[in-house]
Amino acid sequence: MLTLRKNTDRGRADHGWLKSWHTFSFASYRNPNQQGFSDLLVINDDRVAPGQGFGEHPHRDMEIFSYVLDGALEHQDSLGTGSVIRPGDVQLMSAGTGVRHSEYNPSSEHGVHFLQIWIVPALAGAKPRYQQQHFSQAQKRGQLCLIIAPEADGASAALQVRQDARVYAGLFDGREQARLDLGPQRYAYVHLARGALTVNGQRLEAGDGLRVRGETALALSEGEQAEVLVFDLRPNELPGE
pLDDT tens track for 10-34:
999 999 989 999 999 987 898 888 9
Whether 116 is covered by a domain: the verdict is yes
Whether 238 is covered by a domain: the verdict is no
Domains of the chain: total:
1
How large is the C-alpha radius of gyration of the chain? 17
| Per-residue pLDDT at 240 exceeds 70 | no
The tens digit of pLDDT for each residue in 164-212 reads: 999 999 999 999 999 999 988 899 999 999 999 999 999 999 999 999 9
Whether 172 is covered by a domain: the verdict is yes
Q: Are strands 112-119 and 63-70 parallel, antiparallel or unpaired?
A: antiparallel
CB atoms closer than 10 angstroms to residue 52: 14
Whether 47 is covered by a domain: the verdict is yes
- Measure the CA dihedral 93/20/89/204, to 10°: 120
What predicted TM-score, i.e. pTM, was given to this entire model? 0.94
CB atoms closer than 10 angstroms to residue 181: 9
pLDDT of residue 8: 95
Whether 241 is covered by a domain: the verdict is no
Whether 239 is covered by a domain: the verdict is no
Q: Which of 65, 193, 53 is nearest to 111 (CA)?
A: 53
Quick one: pLDDT band at residue 107, thresholds 50, 70, 90? confident
Q: What is the CATH number of the domain that holds 68?
A: 2.60.120.10
Whether 204 is covered by a domain: the verdict is yes
pLDDT of residue 239: 58
CA-based diameter of the chain, in Å?
A: 49
Q: Are strands 202-205 and 178-181 parallel, antiparallel or unpaired?
A: unpaired
| Per-residue pLDDT at 89 exceeds 70 | yes
* Cα distances (Å, whole numbers) of residue 143 to 41, 92, 140, 151: 25, 22, 5, 23
| Per-residue pLDDT at 37 exceeds 80 | yes
Q: What percent of the chain has pLDDT over 70?
A: 98
- Structural domain range at position 153: 2-233
